[in-house]
Amino acid sequence: MRTAVKAAEWAKGKKGAMGWRRKCLVFVRSAWDLPAQDGSAQLEWDSVPVIDRHSDKRPPIGAPCFWHGPSAEGHVAIVVEYRSDVPYIASNDIVKPDRIDLVPLSRITEDWSHAKWLGWTTVLQGRDLPLGSDNDHRVGFRQNRTVFSSKMHLGQMDSDSVFNLQLALIRHGLGIGAGSPTGNYLNGTLGAVKKFQLAQGWSGTGADGLAGKQTVKRLGLTWIVD
């Protein structure tokens, strides 16, 4: 198996290559140097445990990204780089049938009206992918490092405030249960916040895993009550 960066480099090196018509899963598996037998991208997605699926649209370099449609087999592509904070993928058939091209992540649903974003995974062909270990994409804080109080609760999904909280935790060396910030306040984030709170010497309700004003400020973020 290749590293994330090597997988992305392999995929980028195939730009313009022909012979990949309806072979998206073969292409992504080949990028990771996994057995490249043909198959259904939709079935591959369905086989991934829910905990290893991520719905945000800021996947790390090397991540396999999945869509439902435009055919019953679905579609998968691999993230190869970020340009001006926009994720780019290597995909077959999107610009020209049979060919590999590098396009923004959003291009799939823009060009294929029947395609629906499913998400990205940390698992491929039943194997854990080393995403982030040598990832050259460095995410940055959103909305000027602000965190809105209404977003700091377990179960909050797709929030820039949660994204900022997660990025700050990661930069303090605390894992959140995902390779990169997702914007989703789930158990991994809850546990990371609790570890940070305990490290501050707090206890009881002060170390419940829910980020309040003091936790957010101690992480170097701006707290806003809304």
Residue 168 pLDDT grade (very low, low, confident, very high; cuts 50, 70, 90)? confident
Domain-terminating residue out of 103, 128, 153: 128
**What are 16-30's pLDDT values in tens digits?**
999 999 999 999 999
Domain-terminating residue out of 100, 128, 156: 128
Q: State whether 99 and 176 are in the same domain.
A: no
Please give the Cα distance from 77 to 168 (Å, whole number): 29
Q: How many domains does the chain have?
A: 2
Q: State whether 115 and 200 are in the same domain.
A: no
Q: State whether 119 and 151 are in the same domain.
A: no
pLDDT of residue 147: 95
Is residue 83 domain-resident? yes
CATH number at 68 reads: 3.90.1720
Q: State whether 22 and 105 are in the same domain.
A: yes
Q: State whether 120 and 95 are in the same domain.
A: yes
CB-count burial class (<10 Å; 0-12, 13-18, 19+) for 136: exposed
Interacting residues of 142 by C-beta distance below 8 A, sequence separation 6+: 160, 163, 164
Is residue 134 domain-resident? no
Please give the Cα distance from 113 to 47 (Å, whole number): 25
Please give the Cα distance from 139 to 85 (Å, whole number): 8
Name which of 34-48, 94-108, 169-183 the model is least confident about.
169-183
Q: State whether 176 and 88 are in the same domain.
A: no
Is residue 133 domain-resident? no
pLDDT of residue 67: 98
Kind and range of the H or E run holding 16: none
Please, are residues 167 and 138 in contact by the beta-carbon 8 Å criterion? no
Q: State whether 24 and 108 are in the same domain.
A: yes
Is residue 137 domain-resident? no
CATH number at 188 reads: 1.10.101
Q: Which two tokens stand for residue 100?
A: 């590999």
Q: State whether 108 and 161 are in the same domain.
A: no
Q: Which two tokens stand for residue 95?
A: 């610009």
Residue 139 pLDDT grade (very low, low, confident, very high; cuts 50, 70, 90)? low
Please give the Cα distance from 103 to 99 (Å, whole number): 12
Please give the Cα distance from 108 to 85 (Å, whole number): 18
- What is the pLDDT of the chain when averaged over all its residues? 90
pLDDT of residue 134: 37
Q: State whether 102 and 159 are in the same domain.
A: no
Q: State whether 200 and 106 are in the same domain.
A: no
* Res. 135: pLDDT tops 60: no
Q: State whether 113 and 153 are in the same domain.
A: no
Q: State whether 96 and 208 are in the same domain.
A: no
For 10, the domain range is 4-128
Crossing angle for the helix pair 187-199 and 160-171, to the nearest 10 degrees: 50
Is residue 136 domain-resident? no
Is residue 138 domain-resident? no
Interval 202-208 mean pLDDT: 92
